[in-house]
Structure 1
Amino acid sequence: MIEDMLRTPAAVQDAERHTAHNYHPLPVVISSAEGAWVTDVDGRRYLDCLAGYSALNFGHRHPTLIAAAHAQLDKLTLTSRAFIHDQFADFCRELAALCGKDLVLPMNTGAEAVETGVKVARKWGYQVKGVPAGQANIVVAEGNFHGRTTTIVSFSTDADARADFGPYTPGFRIVPYGDLAALAEAIDEHTVAVLLEPIQGEQGVVVPPEGYLPGVRRLCTERRVLFIADEIQSGLGRTGATFACEQDGVVPDMYLLGKALGGGIVPVSAVAADADVLGVLRPGQHGSTFGGNPLACAVATEVVRLLATGEFQRRSAELGERLHAGLRALVGKGLVAVRGRGLWAGLDIDPALMSGREACERLMERGVLVKDTHGSTIRLAPPLVITAEDIDHAVAQLAAVLAG
């Protein structure tokens, strides 16, 4: 059905012929993009309401970020951390200031940031808290998504992400998301950190109950445990604030950042924390050949400067109200529930109507690109440069799909 209508079947088949099938992409082949819109190989335009899982918060080919990348490409792209380059200090200083932390450790991918956070928390536990060697544990939440390395999937509750990748890394305790009592019970004298997404993205943009994050902060302080906030998807303007934690009045001990930090141009991630936490690392104990490279720092510094103006956070908050108002009007008309904050929404479609995948395919036919997750749930995360008219257009197309 969808395949019969597809205008570029050869291009789709060619793209998958020599590719391991670790993704199930929508059958569209994109060749160019600008702002919130992408164009396929046949010239058809689509409104991008996924934004690379928040990696494209500033839209496709943001002129300031593209200019920074072009300028750096003409000078220097890689030195490794064996040397210092002239973009490094600005990036680390300005990102640390944005986070309100002393230190930054640049990496590449979000999963690397999470792995770094796990390692730092364990080392902090042994060297600072005094946990006996090999006994550290970290508490995480059900429904989490922090990446897909072997250590990270060891504490995933998603069967697709976890099954058949064992043996699994020990040292993690899983509790229900939003349950403070369960969290308190799971923390013991050997707990070094609580690792959470302030809003669970892959699970369907799940916002925790009121008071949960402040309660987590209080527990971590009382029990001398690090609160690690994975803001890789929720951070950098997505929810209407620089960090989702801000909206609950919470400051974690460690931020894990990624996705939007690279401006949709290069993979950039980072861990930000104070010196009493990140300062436990010594040369040779952790690193990355490409982490903090000149090209990445040049782009990411401009990302930080865009965020420092507050413009994108305000856009996300204001346009997010418009998006959520439009979506809530569809509850009972094909939608069962709407969740989210800012320009980020999880939508539960009545499973009697269609699956999330079917909804995404039908929206694609109408020129809107979104992504499904967990059955009949789809996620919307448009670039923060989207216009009010584009939001109304996306909601109208969704309404048409739900109406059949």
Structure 2
Amino acid sequence: MVDDKLRTPGAVRDAERWTAHNYHPLPVVISSAEGAWLTDVDGKRYLDCLAGYSALNFGHRHPQLIAAAHAQLDRLTLTSRAFIHDQFADFCRELAELCGKDLVLPMNTGAEAVETGIKVARKWGYQVKGVPAGQANIIVADGNFHGRTTTIVSFSTDEDARADFGPYTPGFTVVPYGDLDALAAAIDDNTVAVLLEPIQGEQGVVVPPEGYLPGVRQVCTDRNVLFIADEIQSGLGRTGRTFACDHEGVVPDMYLLGKALGGGIVPVSAVAANSDVLGVLKPGQHGSTFGGNPLACAVATEVVRLLATGEFQRRSAALGERLRTGLEGLLGKGLVGVRVRGLWAGLDIDPALMSGREACERLMARGILAKDTHGSTIRLAPPLVITEEEIDQAIKTLTEVLAA
């Protein structure tokens, strides 16, 4: 507390006064964090069950990542890609090895990784597959969320993300998510890629039917089409495996990575693919001033090393089962749908009880932070450092909210 007055209301008002309203955040103002816990400006603590949309997989201020950032801040932060710095090669090599690919192209944000993947796929289509100039098309799924750039919202089916931002970029065909027959039927001679989230996060942690991803892989192989997996939210330990594709033994032609790759410290994204795909790019054809900067590489290299031990994947898998058991026990008691993969869950609340926003506000009042999406659905994505006791606390609090 500060002078026995709550600071939160004033801070919320100031944020609303001086910021474009492109978000509708919960009325909480965070000032510090550690592990799975956040503290607001009034000293109240909250269990973080969102983890920055998976950007904080390793928790807030993970000591190994903070140490790497501090050490690099004292040495070098930016050179641009005009020069090579001493953190670059290690990061690219270790991330490529984690992905089982030949090459890595570092960028900054997830949307940049998606845009990069689109550009690479089109260039590959023209130079390698032999698609006529300007005719390349890419298959995407309805309910997708790949970012909010002009090109990406052009193939969004979410009207909030898409409406009034046209004219839209052509070259995309939308098919139902999880429908392999529809996807196969949409591919033609000019199709260069299929771009999918192996689990749709923004849609409410929607897991496709078993066999869908292997089927997509086979169709892409048979039709000489690139399979691009957007693992920006689902990857890097979130689902109990390094990548969500790993659950069905699927290896895409291209991984799009971000969020957790920066450890919650700096924005880092990357495209990982083999040289027969990423090798189509030549100097001057794509770039980023800050992409692969020394600070980003220093932090992201430590992220890759944390993942290389397998500890966080095992934690996510084991604790995810505890989360699943607790949440499925609430079906018929306020929840009408539960989807869990690792430490990632989508919960459908009975809309007769409350909206997802109202549920998140009630959870916040009880010290749990989560995020709603699409009406009565909320998502849980706690840091992978969360404990069994903290998971139980989150479930107990959710139970109280639904009962109330």
- Normalised to the residue count of structure 1, the TM-score between the two structures is 0.98
Aligned to 1:139: 139
In 1: Cα distance, 2:293 partner to 2:7 partner: 40
In 2: Cα distance, 1:11 partner to 1:268 partner: 29
- What is the letter of the counterpart of residue 99 of structure 2? C
In 2: Cα distance, 1:8 partner to 1:188 partner: 55
> What is the 5 A alignment of 1:343-362?
343-362=343-362
Aligned to 1:70: 70
Report the 3-state secondary structure (helix = DSSP H, G, I; strand = E; otherwise coil) of the residue aligned with 1:343.
coil
Report the 3-state secondary structure (helix = DSSP H, G, I; strand = E; otherwise coil) of the residue aligned with 2:247.
helix
Report the 3-state secondary structure (helix = DSSP H, G, I; strand = E; otherwise coil) of the residue aligned with 1:144.
coil
In 1: Cα distance, 2:220 partner to 2:6 partner: 52
Aligned to 1:198: 198
Aligned to 1:377: 377
Aligned to 2:233: 233
- What is the letter of the counterpart of residue 332 of structure 1? G
In 2: Cα distance, 1:174 partner to 1:14 partner: 41
Given that 2:101 and 2:272 are in contact with CA atoms closer than 8 Å, whether structure 1 keeps it comes out as: yes
- What is the letter of the counterpart of residue 249 of structure 2? G
In 1: Cα distance, 2:213 partner to 2:84 partner: 38
In 2: Cα distance, 1:61 partner to 1:15 partner: 24
Aligned to 1:158: 158
Q: How far does residue 173 in structure 1 lie from its aligned partner after superposition? A: 0.1
Q: How far does residue 62 in structure 1 lie from its aligned partner after superposition? A: 0.1
In 2: Cα distance, 1:114 partner to 1:14 partner: 34
In 2: Cα distance, 1:7 partner to 1:120 partner: 48
> What is the 5 A alignment of 1:168-247?
168-247=168-247
Aligned to 2:277: 277
Aligned to 2:402: 402
Given that 1:205 and 1:346 are in contact with CA atoms closer than 8 Å, whether structure 2 keeps it comes out as: yes
Q: Give per-residue Cα distances to partners, 1:63-115, cap 9 Å, x unaligned.
A: 00000000000000000000000000000000000000000000000000000
Aligned to 1:120: 120
- What is the letter of the counterpart of residue 103 of structure 1? L
Q: Give per-residue Cα distances to partners, 1:242-274, cap 9 Å, x unaligned.
A: 000000110000000000000000000000000
In 2: Cα distance, 1:239 partner to 1:355 partner: 26
In 2: Cα distance, 1:45 partner to 1:198 partner: 34
Q: How far does residue 16 in structure 1 lie from its aligned partner after superposition? A: 1.7
> What is the 5 A alignment of 1:90-105?
90-105=90-105
Report the 3-state secondary structure (helix = DSSP H, G, I; strand = E; otherwise coil) of the residue aligned with 1:9.
helix
Given that 2:103 and 2:272 are in contact with CA atoms closer than 8 Å, whether structure 1 keeps it comes out as: yes
Aligned to 1:304: 304
Q: How far does residue 190 in structure 1 lie from its aligned partner after superposition? A: 0.2
- What is the letter of the counterpart of residue 130 of structure 2? G
Q: How far does residue 125 in structure 1 lie from its aligned partner after superposition? A: 0.1
Q: How far does residue 195 in structure 1 lie from its aligned partner after superposition? A: 0.1
Given that 1:98 and 1:304 are in contact with CA atoms closer than 8 Å, whether structure 2 keeps it comes out as: yes
Given that 2:320 and 2:340 are in contact with CA atoms closer than 8 Å, whether structure 1 keeps it comes out as: no
Q: How far does residue 325 in structure 1 lie from its aligned partner after superposition? A: 0.5
In 1: Cα distance, 2:307 partner to 2:9 partner: 40
Aligned to 1:26: 26
Report the 3-state secondary structure (helix = DSSP H, G, I; strand = E; otherwise coil) of the residue aligned with 2:66.
helix
Report the 3-state secondary structure (helix = DSSP H, G, I; strand = E; otherwise coil) of the residue aligned with 1:271.
strand
Aligned to 1:313: 313
Report the 3-state secondary structure (helix = DSSP H, G, I; strand = E; otherwise coil) of the residue aligned with 1:222.
helix
Given that 2:55 and 2:260 are in contact with CA atoms closer than 8 Å, whether structure 1 keeps it comes out as: yes
Given that 2:6 and 2:42 are in contact with CA atoms closer than 8 Å, whether structure 1 keeps it comes out as: no
Given that 2:33 and 2:60 are in contact with CA atoms closer than 8 Å, whether structure 1 keeps it comes out as: yes
- What is the letter of the counterpart of residue 389 of structure 2? E
Q: How far does residue 7 in structure 1 lie from its aligned partner after superposition? A: 6.3
Q: Give per-residue Cα distances to partners, 1:138-191, cap 9 Å, x unaligned.
A: 000000000000000000000000000000000000000000010011000000
Q: Give per-residue Cα distances to partners, 1:23-56, cap 9 Å, x unaligned.
A: 0000000000000000000000000000000000
In 1: Cα distance, 2:17 partner to 2:162 partner: 26
> What is the 5 A alignment of 1:284-295?
284-295=284-295
Report the 3-state secondary structure (helix = DSSP H, G, I; strand = E; otherwise coil) of the residue aligned with 2:91.
helix
Relative to structure 1, the CA distance from residue 287 to residue 370 in structure 2 (aligned partners, 3 Å threshold; closer, same or farther) is same
Please identify runs of 4+ aligned residues in structure 1 that moved more than 4 A.
none
- What is the letter of the counterpart of residue 326 of structure 2? G
In 2: Cα distance, 1:53 partner to 1:106 partner: 20
Q: How far does residue 14 in structure 1 lie from its aligned partner after superposition? A: 1.1
Aligned to 1:149: 149
In 1: Cα distance, 2:227 partner to 2:100 partner: 15
Given that 1:6 and 1:27 are in contact with CA atoms closer than 8 Å, whether structure 2 keeps it comes out as: no
In angstroms, what is the RMSD of aligned CA positions?
Answer: 0.8
Given that 1:140 and 1:194 are in contact with CA atoms closer than 8 Å, whether structure 2 keeps it comes out as: yes
In 1: Cα distance, 2:295 partner to 2:225 partner: 35
Q: How far does residue 340 in structure 1 lie from its aligned partner after superposition? A: 2.3
In 1: Cα distance, 2:8 partner to 2:278 partner: 49
In 1: Cα distance, 2:256 partner to 2:33 partner: 28
In 2: Cα distance, 1:8 partner to 1:107 partner: 35
Aligned to 1:89: 89
- Answering whether residue 46 of structure 2 is matched by residue 46 of structure 1, we say yes
In 2: Cα distance, 1:178 partner to 1:397 partner: 33
In 2: Cα distance, 1:66 partner to 1:224 partner: 43
In 2: Cα distance, 1:53 partner to 1:278 partner: 28
- What is the letter of the counterpart of residue 339 of structure 2? R
For structure 2, list consecutive stretches of 5 or more residues without a partner in the other structure: none
Relative to structure 1, the CA distance from residue 6 to residue 334 in structure 2 (aligned partners, 3 Å threshold; closer, same or farther) is farther
In 1: Cα distance, 2:189 partner to 2:62 partner: 48
Q: Give per-residue Cα distances to partners, 1:309-368, cap 9 Å, x unaligned.
A: 000000000000000100000000000010120000000000000000000000000000
- What is the letter of the counterpart of residue 100 of structure 2? G
